[in-house]
Chain A
Amino acid sequence: MNQQHQPRRSFLKTKLVAAAAATLIFLGLGAGSALAQRTDILGAGATFPAPLVTAMADEYRTKTGGRVTVNYQSIGSGGGIRQFIEQTVMFGMSEAFLSDQIMADIEQRTGGAAFNLPITLADVVPTYNLPGVKKGLVFDGDLLVDLFLGKIKRWNDPRIAELNPGLRLPPLPVTIVHRSDGSGTTNVWTSYLTRVSDEWAKKVGYATSVNWPTGVGGNGNEGVAGVVMNTPGALGYNSLSYAILSDISYGYVVNAAGNTIEPSYAATTAAADIDLPADTRVLFTNTPAPDGYPAAGFAWMLVYQNLDQNRAIANRAQAEELLKFLIWAIRDGQELSESLGFARLPQAAIDLNFEMIRQITWQDEKLGEKVLREMQR
């Protein structure tokens, strides 16, 4: 499904098309919006950030007077990566960054890199159903690992009581609920457990789906939430926005610095406030940041460095509109975050994004640089 050798498109033809498109755009700018061409931008991938991206798209559509329509569909991170490689979409979206091997393949195939642009952050919180206990039960990494390994079987275990003095915990059995479908949420959660425990790293590891040692699988966030809400004694994990908006009790987690962190969008943003590598391909679960919530990670937009190499993008005009949307989403679109239950990008990530966008080209033209300059003016 994913190894498609793409012949370099006929040079002359693309040039002609590009020239025609450029003329059209020029005319459009000259004659005002009446003549402007309508552009459809197609993107697909991760499910978790879908509401945010569709909201950005809607806002952007209004802002451009209906001229640019961004159609984003959630087909999952794996789907996003594959459609990105298949070049059926103009941008992909994933909660896992592209592997070294995929990066190398793309480099070889298109003569340019694939960029992972962080667009928002995912945060995963422990959710539970304990009669008489509201939100705010405190967990730490080791405790969560032993719970999810099935070692701690009852809620009145002394280790839970130790972290929650003064709380009367019922002697209910612990029912672990995990995602049964592959998901970025599972990726973040298991990567957190892997980071805090060698035993977890050796026995289970982390990925979008893992071989769970215990528990029952719910399909999707709503599946986990449904099982948790209907099963006294259940312990699961959900994205923070899902937990808040569905009114499920969620716990606080002690982070690497030893601070008890109440999950919040600000704490999630703080988690990414670390030294990021230039390509942003990094997992920062169990973050060293003192105020950071420990189970959080980026969701990335995937774009080709050489946009002309993506068969889904027909002409330079489309490439330009795509870049404009990306820049707008990274900079202005973040305003939409909190009201929809998402954390904002930290400034460091925004700066790195712009650094990558500067390198984006259309047939050796530094299109990213140009668009960015225009938009910053």
Chain B
Amino acid sequence: MAAAPSTYELVRRTPPLLYRWLGDRIFAVLVTLFGLTVMGLAISLAVVLFWEGSEAIKTFGFWGFLIGTTWDPALTLTFGTFPFLIGTVVTSVAALALSFFPALAVAIFSAEYAPRWLSHIIDALVDLIAAVPSVVVGIWGIFVLAPWLRDHFYLPLYMWAAESRPELLPIIGSPMGYGMTTAVIVLALMIVPFTAALSRDAIRLVPKAQREACWALGATRWEVIRMAVLPYARSGIVAGAILSFGRAIGETMAVAMLIGNKNTLPFDLFGPAATMPSVIINEFREAVENLHLSSLMAIGFYLFLISLIVNLLAAYIQRKMMVAGGRSA
């Protein structure tokens, strides 16, 4: 390990017991304080959102707001978040499903197959994806990606369905190019670096002995990866997927620009839809009515709850996997 030579130095000037004991205490308190800060931030965000959204929650009821399907900021001032809830869940799950294997593939390729110089380039480029501002992706999507997808995928598929499978048309929806599928594709691209980066580092740090044992058994390269590397790197991979999922749930600008923003159910495959963050960013700046703004904040609060539930679920899955995988301690 990198720090091995300095260890001797450290041992030589081992300080007295009291110092060590106190040092450990102070360190633990400090670290806990940092942890508490993060927790405090999350909780205060929830409190602020609840506070600002309480008017809407009071008006429509806790469940009423959640399952309400009308979003009318003009005439009746009725607000319900159900369509956006569906939109958020569908797009982020689909985006994670779409991006997970490519992202993992990038990580494996970079860590296991690519020569050093190439893997450096790949790593930097993948991280760079995270740095492209949402707005840039969004505008590029409007002017380049959406029209291209429409002409090469949506329209041909729509034409084919119209001729031979008319019963599919309601599911496919209008092939304008601005809608759910386009948003999912862009989202999938944007969350790749989170899974890829964490998986890659986890794979790199798998001990040599682990691989060598497998090589010695006569395994091919792929078999080494599958049987020795991936199980060991699992926690990093899962952490990456969770980060990705978080990003997918919370991603706002690019989705808002590409999803077509339709505030009523039902949604279809290619047609416009909306997500909770996209509604917030869309209407936040211009919301004049108090109840309208309060409803947007309430969406934020529900998003917090949903995010909480999803992450609880993820933690549960992760723990189950840990038991099955059994990381050597």
**Are A and B direct contacts in the complex by CB distance below 8 Å?**
yes
User: Footprint of B on A, CB under 8 Å?
Assistant: 1-2, 47, 75-79, 81-82, 94, 96, 99, 175, 180-184, 190, 202-212, 216-220, 222-223, 226-227, 230-231
Cβ contact within 8 Å between B74 and A190: yes
Cβ contact within 8 Å between A219 and B282: yes
Q: How far is the CA of A231 from the CA of B177 in the complex (A)?
A: 9
Cβ contact within 8 Å between A222 and B176: no
Closest 6 CB pairs of A and B: A76-B285, A182-B286, A217-B261, A180-B261, A205-B75, A207-B74
Select from chain A the residue with minimum beta-carbon distance to B70.
A211
B37 within 8 A of A: no
Cβ contact within 8 Å between B74 and A184: no
Residues on B with beta carbons closer than 8 Å to the beta carbon of A78: 284-288, 293
A219-B138 CB under 8 A given contacts A181-B256, A209-B73, A211-B73: yes
Q: How far is the CA of A76 from the CA of B70 in the complex (A)?
A: 24
Select from chain B the residue with minimum beta-carbon distance to A178.
B261
Residue from B74, B176, B177, B282 whose CB has the most chain A CB atoms within 10 Å: B74
Cross-chain contact of B73 among A202, A207, A230 (Cβ < 8 A): A207
Residue from A76, A78, A81, A205 whose CB has the most chain B CB atoms within 10 Å: A78
B149: shortest Cβ distance to chain A, in Å? 11
B255-279 Cβ-contact flags toward A at 8 Å (1 or 0): 0110011111000000010100010
Cβ contact within 8 Å between B285 and A79: yes
B171 within 8 A of A: no
User: Footprint of A on B, CB under 8 Å?
Assistant: 52, 70-75, 138-139, 142-143, 146-147, 174, 176-179, 256-257, 260-264, 272, 274, 278, 281-290, 293
Cβ contact within 8 Å between A210 and B72: yes
A179: shortest Cβ distance to chain B, in Å? 9
19 contacts across the A-B interface (CB closer than 8 A):
A47-B285, A76-B285, A76-B286, A77-B288, A79-B285, A175-B176, A181-B256, A181-B285, A182-B73, A182-B284, A209-B282, A210-B75, A216-B178, A217-B260, A218-B178, A219-B257, A227-B142, A230-B147, A231-B176
Residues on A with beta carbons closer than 8 Å to the beta carbon of B52: 1
A180-B286 CB under 8 A given contacts A223-B142, A227-B178: no
Cβ contact within 8 Å between B286 and A181: yes
Q: How far is the CA of A79 from the CA of B142 in the complex (A)?
A: 26
Q: Please name 12 further chain A to chain B contacts, defined as beta carbons within 8 Å, in addition to the given A78-B293, A216-B261, sorted by A numbering.
A: A47-B285, A77-B286, A180-B256, A182-B73, A183-B286, A202-B75, A204-B75, A209-B283, A216-B176, A217-B260, A217-B261, A219-B261
Residue from A2, A82, A203, A211 whose CB has the most chain B CB atoms within 10 Å: A211
A219-B256 CB under 8 A given contacts A209-B73, A211-B74: yes
B152: shortest Cβ distance to chain A, in Å? 14
Q: How far is the CA of A205 from the CA of B73 in the complex (A)?
A: 9
B282: shortest Cβ distance to chain A, in Å? 4
Residues on B with beta carbons closer than 8 Å to the beta carbon of A212: 262-263
Cross-chain contact of B288 among A75, A190, A207 (Cβ < 8 A): A207
Q: How far is the CA of A2 from the CA of B55 in the complex (A)?
A: 13
B315: shortest Cβ distance to chain A, in Å? 33
Q: How far is the CA of A93 from the CA of B284 in the complex (A)?
A: 16
Select from chain A the residue with minimum beta-carbon distance to B258.
A219
